[in-house]
Structure 1
Amino acid sequence: MSLTLRKRRVTLVMPTTRMGRMKAQAMKTAEQVRPMANTAREVAAHRIEDARVWAAPKFDRAAHSVEEQIAPKVSAFLVQAAEKIDPAPSVRRRGRWSTIALLAGFAACAVGVVLYRNNTRQWADSMKDTTADASRWSGDRVEGISSTEESIRPGDETSRKMY
């Protein structure tokens, strides 16, 4: 004897109390309604999906319509309203002073660059003079070495041959 048959026998037996009879009737009705509820759920899911498929392009078209037609008109209206309620513009002196300060800063930078370049040229010229003096001094020193001193330094001949 299968389990389902046993359940059916249990449900077919009529309970003696009123509450038990109502419970048995509710269980019997639930078994009958369950397949219909499943079908209704599936149909509702399909209908909701169909509605979404239909509504999505409509919303997209409406959004583009608002963006291209209504939004520019509303924007122009708001700009006009702002111009109408805006008080007369006051004289702004702060803008002049900031411009003057900016131009003074540029002028100071230009003067600094010119002075830096002049100083660099002078330094380079003085280094050339110093280098020339050093080479003259070292040249005099080399020429002043006697032949006896050259014989003392045997490594100098080897280094001359290498170069």
Structure 2
Amino acid sequence: MNEGSVSLEKQALLFSQSLDASLKAYRRLLEIENEQAASIGESNIEAVAAKIDSKNTLLQDLQKIDKDLHEQHLLWQQVREQAPPELRERLQSQVSALQEAMTQLLELQKTNEEELKKHGDEINRKLKEINRGKSAHKGYQQKAATDAYQKSKFYDQKH
């Protein structure tokens, strides 16, 4: 085997490994996003917060993985045309799987954000109802206290 062929094979392997690492991380992120969706459905805000923390940690790792993937992709582009069609197809299949995982992730994230907003709106509506109820209760207490005071003054005058 000549030196160019070894370099091509090595570059293909490195690019493939970077694609695999990225796909694995995005699939894990998708799992966490699905778990978050379940927590949102259960109105379990503490679990949602924990999932967000997990996602943030994984996103930090993903930055490094994606940087490596980008670098490997640039190097692969330099030798891509020399690769046999089946090798290019295999790598393209990995790229397609990664794109599909990212698309699913983005769709689920959008849905989760909408659901969180709905839950936030519902919580705000309930808080407003509680505050209105407190105001009404406070008004009732004040009226009852005033009435009781008036009645006590009335009874004090008669006795």
TM-score by length of 1: 0.38
Give the number of the structure whose residues are more often helix, by fraction: 2
Of structures 1 and 2, the one scoring higher in RCO (CA 8 A, sep 6+) is 2
TM-score by length of 2: 0.39
